[in-house]
Structure formats: structure tokens, C-alpha cells
Amino acid sequence: MRSSTGIKPFRFNLAKKLFYPVDNSPLVLFRILFGLILCYHCLDFIVSGDLYENFIQPPFTFSYIGFEFLQPLPGPGMYYYFALMALFALMVMLGAWYRFSMIGFTILWAGIYLMQKSNYNNHYYLVLLLCSLMSIMPANRYVSIDVKRNAVTEKHSCAQWVIVVFILQIAVVYFYAGISKLSGDWLSGKFIALQFARLTTHRFVGPFYASRPFQLLICYGGLFFDLFIVPLLLWKKTRRFAFLFYCGFHLFNSYTFRIGIFPYLSIAMGVFFLDGEFIRHRLFKNKRVVAVDIDKNIQRTFKKQLLLYVLGIYFIFQLILPMRSWFFPGNVFWTEEGYRMSWKMMLRGKTGKIHFKVVDTVSQKTWRINPAEKFIASHVTWIAICPDIAWQYAQRLKKEYNDKGYPNVKVYAIDSVSLNKYPPQLLIDTTVDLGAVQWQPFRHSNWILPYTSFSH
């Protein structure tokens, strides 16, 4: 049977339900919180000095391979860059010229994300994904300047797929975070003990953080949280308790680990698990109850089917991308191959030191290059612990010496790296000329030395 428009109707009730109108209060509340968090982050990045340390002080940044053309703006340019992002975030929060400001922020955020990976953090990637999703959402249809200026029609509902998309994105993050914790150093409590070391001498909470039972409680509690929090939030009988636990867990992480905006961003994402009516009653009391008009809602099915296909491809990509580390040999926390964008959060601590040896094969001249002469200590550590960043630095050194009139140099990296406080080891083969190595993103780099594990 075909509809009067000649378009084949949906075959599955699930597809129909994804387009049923539901209360858009969670989406509107998330827009406000999301914009506020992003605005705070951009301003704090300027005031705290992080912007200067990561984008202005270094002579260059380590962009993602293939995006080397992305480098910080000269002079005060990066301050204007982040100030513009803060303005866009504020406009998102207020729902002012929403589509323009959200897309603008997304583009600028993608720029800084790809521009500097030596400051990589999982929540930077999460923000990029959320910005991309929010760019297509009708999040400015209520409590917004756009409604006040009649740029859009006020609406009290949105299609159910809007809420489902965010729930699925959250589920992907926690699922991979959970299964990644099934590793020796996490299950043994070693990594948690290392992370708690800073607080073990605290006057009031020190005894708790130094307690082995408390460390194991947090260790296995974190594993339980990642694996089961989404089902508990989805089930109505456990939702309220789970949401309180969810907020408490992230506030604890904020205090303990000092991981920036991620805990508060996670709490903001949690609103998608709450009933729209619950939020409406408490925050948007003048908002009317959403009436479901199914007959009107199942028209124009071709566009809706196309949307489902696009979203399906997006989530297939989200499910596959974190798996890529499984196809590289060795310990991913050591090799870093497939580590980024895989939601392996709070699972490894690495320290290291490195220098480079440049040898001219014609004159036999040798130069010892110490990155610490150009970079702050934290960036030198990133060069030491990330093979791809060390490779990029070697490529730069080769080009620099070629420009100086030495076209036949070889570049060697000599490093010493410690994973989770175990004895340091060589990460990079010191006999390999990194200047001559071609980067192969889908194959294991044989010049990365295997990790020698230690018993717990």
C-alpha cells in the first residue's frame, strides 16, 4: 500500500515512533546548559593561561596528520578566536541566531581540535560530536531570542528521534569506557591508587583516598557505572535514583581528578533521560502539554527515511571507530595506535623524556636536539609518549635541516617512557630513521617497540 503522495509508508513501527512528537524540554534545557558550559570553557581557557601555553607559546602545534596547515593565528589572533567562540556559545545558550552560532562554534572548535593534539582529551572529541549534532537540532524553538524576534515559530515539541540520538551517543561513550576498564591496571586498583596519590595527604579526605577498600570501591564502582548507568537511567523504576547517582559520580570525579568540564557536560547530557514533563513542571511552567498528532506526523516519509539512514551511518561509524585499536598489535596505552576517539578514559598515565639525534650522512656532523628548548615540560612529555607526535617532530627536523643546506640527514629519537609508574622503557626504536619513515595510519608502525609488561 502506498500513501496519497506516492511514497511508500514506513514498514516498522519503530521508525514511526522515532518521529512521534515529544516534549522538547530536555533539548531546550540542554541547549542552555551546553552553551553555558562552552562559554565558560572558552573564557576560562583564556584567563587560566591554557590558551597561551597550548597555542601561543609553542613555536608550532602538533596538528592531526594531514591537517598540518592548521596552525595558530599570529599575534593576539588566538585570543580573538576563543573570544569569538565564547560569543557563539553565549548565543547558543540564549538561542540567538542559533543555527548560525552553533555551526560557527562547531567549525571553530573543529579547528582547534585538529590544530593541537598534544593537549588531547576525550571530552574535546565529545564536544565536537555534540556540536555537530546540535547544529541540526531544533533547539531554539522555545525560551530563545530567535522566538522573540520571530525568526522561528515557537514549538513545544520535537520528534522523538532528537532525544534518542543523544541517548545513543551517551550510551556509546559509556559502553566503550566500561569495556576498556577490563584491564589489569584498572581491575587491580593500581591506576586508581596512582590517581588518588595527590589527595592521600589531605587533612580531611586523605584517609579515605589512602584506604585500599575505598580505592577498590571506586575502581569497581566506576566499572559498574560505565556498564550499567545507561540502562538504569532508561528504566523508569530506577531512573530517579540512577540520576542522583549519576550526578554524584560526576561531581566526585570533578573534585578528585580535575578533568575540566567533562563532569558537568555529562550531567547536562543526563537531562535527555528525564521525562520532558518532569522538566517542564519544574523549569518551564508556562509551557503547554504536547499533544501527539500521529496522522500529521507520518507525512513526507521519504525525508524521514533519508534522515534515519544518515543517522544510522553516523552511529555505525561511532560503533566502529573505537574498535580500531583492537586491530593493532600490542598494548594500546603504550603504542597509542587507535587510542584517540576510542573513549579509553582515565586508564593510563604516561611520563617520559626524549631527545633527537640528527646525523648528516655526507659531512658526518651530528646534532642533539632537545625539545625542551622550545616546548614546555608538558608538551615535551606528549612528544615522548606519543609515537605519532615524535614522528611529526622528526619530519619537521628533517625539513629544517634540509632548509639549512643538509638534504641528507637522518633523524633518530631516543626516549624513555613509563606507563602507570612502571619502570621506564624505550618506546621508539633508536636505530630507525624517523625522517625517512612514511606514516601509515591503518598499519602498525614497526618502529614502535613492544611493551614489556610487569606483574601486578
pLDDT along the chain (456 residues), means of 10: 43 75 95 98 96 95 94 96 98 97 98 92 94 96 96 93 96 96 92 92 92 95 96 96 97 93 96 93 81 50 83 95 94 94 91 96 94 94 96 96 94 96 96 94 94 72
pLDDT score of 302 = 74
Sign of torsion over alpha carbons 416, 418, 422, 427: negative
Nearest to 226 by CA among 166, 273, 179: 179
pLDDT score of 14 = 72
pTM of the model: 0.92
pLDDT score of 455 = 52
Q: Share the mean pLDDT of the chain.
A: 91
Three cell numbers written together for 103: 555551526
pLDDT score of 13 = 72
At 319-361, the pLDDT tens digits run 999 999 999 999 999 999 999 999 998 888 999 999 999 999 9
Q: Is 116 exposed, middle or buried (0-12, 13-18, 19+ CB in 10 A)?
A: buried
Nearest to 352 by CA among 186, 187, 118, 176: 118
Q: Where exactly are the structural domains of the chain? A: 16-325, 349-436
d(C-alpha 169, C-alpha 128), whole Å: 12
pLDDT score of 6 = 41
First to last CA, the chain: 65
pLDDT score of 288 = 74
